[in-house]
A and B are shown apart, each in its own frame.
Chain A
Amino acid sequence: MSRRVVVTGMGAVTPLGLDCESTWENLIAGKSAASTIRQFDAEGFPVRIACEVGDFDVQKFIDKRQARKMDPSTRYGVAAAIMAWKDSRMDEGDFDPDRVGVVIGSGVGGIQTLEDQHSVLMEKGPRRISPYFIPMLIADMPSGAASITLGLKGPNYATVSACASGAHAIGDAFRAVQRGEADAMVTGGTEAAVCPMSLAGFAAMKAISSRNDEPERASRPFDKERDGFVLGEGAGIVLLEELEHAKARGARIYAEVTGYGCTGDAYHMTAPAPEGEGMARAMRAALADASIDADRVDYVNAHGTSTELNDKYETTALKAVFGEHAKKLAVSSTKSMVGHLLGAAGGVELIFTALAVQNGVIPPTINYEFPDPECDLDYTPNDARELRIEHALTNSFGFGGHNAVLALRRFEG
């Protein structure tokens, strides 16, 4: 029998709050974090809205000397990792540093640093490029920096699979603990891509909503009037720990991770495969890995981006996997409130799913106004509701046709 894996620590920096507690409160209150972009002047851009983190103070977590050598994506990731670690109350002597690793995913890495330094190159020439440019750019630095800060010497790397990066990271970390390569893993995703280059790029793809006059209504997953996602930023990091290791130190357990499934679409660079065929296979793989029948699942935290194709095909995929049970399933997209955190999405959404399971509360899909005949499931429209959840899934799908699904179970010690 393989080792069991539980969530014993959580940390988050999101557009809805600078920690897990405030983020969760705003989430179940149905608040939108979207607004007109504040961190740079987006005048003249076709899209001028995003979900931004706001007044995050990195110096609460890292001293200024270290922080100035970190891209914002690393700052968010390290801050969330420190919060998750503190939350787990792991004391010195409770763990072997060689047996605790870090896997943090990011979709694009240090894109703000790339933007800044490209301007330096063009304006001042190659001799003025910062010696920190490369270490700040590379997408694996959040994992490296978190291990340095926390002194963790187990497996250490990053995953890159666009909007599934965080979920793949957690899936890999889950396997590492399950297989016995580590006793615990700090894992999740981080992203800081609210900047001119990426905003312009996503707008060029027509992937993001241009509802500039009503930002808080722009992210509307599964609604007929949806016109794209709203760019978000931040980090969601958890501590996954082997069950007996957690019990031995009397750790608080949020939920158990029971399964992981990942597939590839082999279809198109950015469009999901028709009918969500690859998404469905990933959900089935996660269910099989968790050894549970589909009809035992109570809640699915959907990828639900608010794009035309994702929401339509995720719905058909859910119907294919769950059959008649799909109608009874509680589904919701928390991206309606927090935005799309890209590589961090899988991290924050695992946290939201674990809190939903632990508290018996389903966060809503807000801005659900106009039913789409092609999206006809129970998306928990507009208001949170109470529901005892035994099993839940959280879906993440990325450009490139990467699908990652994690299964969680309510834990009763």
Chain B
Amino acid sequence: MADVAEKVKQVIAEKLQIDQGQVTMEASIVEDLGADSLEQADILFSLEDEFGITADDTDEAEGLKTVADIVAYLEKKVAASS
């Protein structure tokens, strides 16, 4: 599922206007990449759109901290919906 990670990194880099190289799997969206709460929501909504899923399990979606967390979450969602 390398393409999920690639897509996630691409969306985050685009939304935060940073170099995609900075978006490592270990990077925390807030602490390392500087996203505010609106940017976090914006990233998640874009990914919902991109992968055709709905992040309606709010607690779990809001708990996502690192790029790796987001990728794992999306992989699970995509697998469940297919």
Contact = CB atoms under 8 A, between A and B. Distances in A.
B38 A135 contact: yes
A268 interface: no
Most buried by B among A124, A130, A131: A131
Given A63-B17, A64-B17, A65-B16, A131 B38 contact: yes
Most buried by A among B16, B38, B41: B38
B17 A131 contact: no
B38 A127 contact: no
A127 B17 CA distance: 23
B42 A130 contact: yes
Interface in A190-211: none
A383 B16 CA distance: 50
Nearest to B48: A127
A225 B25 CA distance: 67
A130 B17 contact: no
A124 B48 CA distance: 12
A132 interface: yes
B23 to A, nearest CB: 14
B16 A127 contact: no
Interface string A122-143: 0010011011100100000000
Nearest to A124: B49
A127 B45 contact: yes
B72 to A, nearest CB: 22
Nearest to B38: A131
Interface residues of B, number: 9
B42 to A, nearest CB: 5
B54 interface: yes
A403 B45 CA distance: 44
Contacts of A68: 17
Contacts of B54: 127
Interface in A178-231: none
Interface string B26-49: 000000000000100110010011
A57 B42 CA distance: 24
Given A127-B48, A127-B54, A132 B17 contact: no
A127 B16 CA distance: 21
Contacts of B42: 130-132
A128 B55 CA distance: 11
A239 B14 CA distance: 35
Contacts of B38: 69, 131-132, 135
Contacts of A130: 42, 45
A64 B42 CA distance: 15
Nearest to A135: B38
Nearest to A130: B42
Nearest to A64: B17
Contacts of A131: 38, 41-42, 45
Interface in A34-86: 63-65, 68-69
B58 to A, nearest CB: 12
Nearest to A129: B45
Interface of B: 16-17, 38, 41-42, 45, 48-49, 54
9 contacts: A64-B17, A65-B16, A65-B17, A68-B17, A128-B49, A130-B42, A130-B45, A131-B38, A131-B41
Interface of A: 63-65, 68-69, 124, 127-128, 130-132, 135
Given A128-B45, A128-B48, 19 more contacts: A63-B17, A64-B17, A65-B16, A65-B17, A68-B17, A69-B38, A124-B49, A127-B45, A127-B48, A127-B54, A130-B42, A130-B45, A131-B38, A131-B41, A131-B42, A131-B45, A132-B38, A132-B42, A135-B38
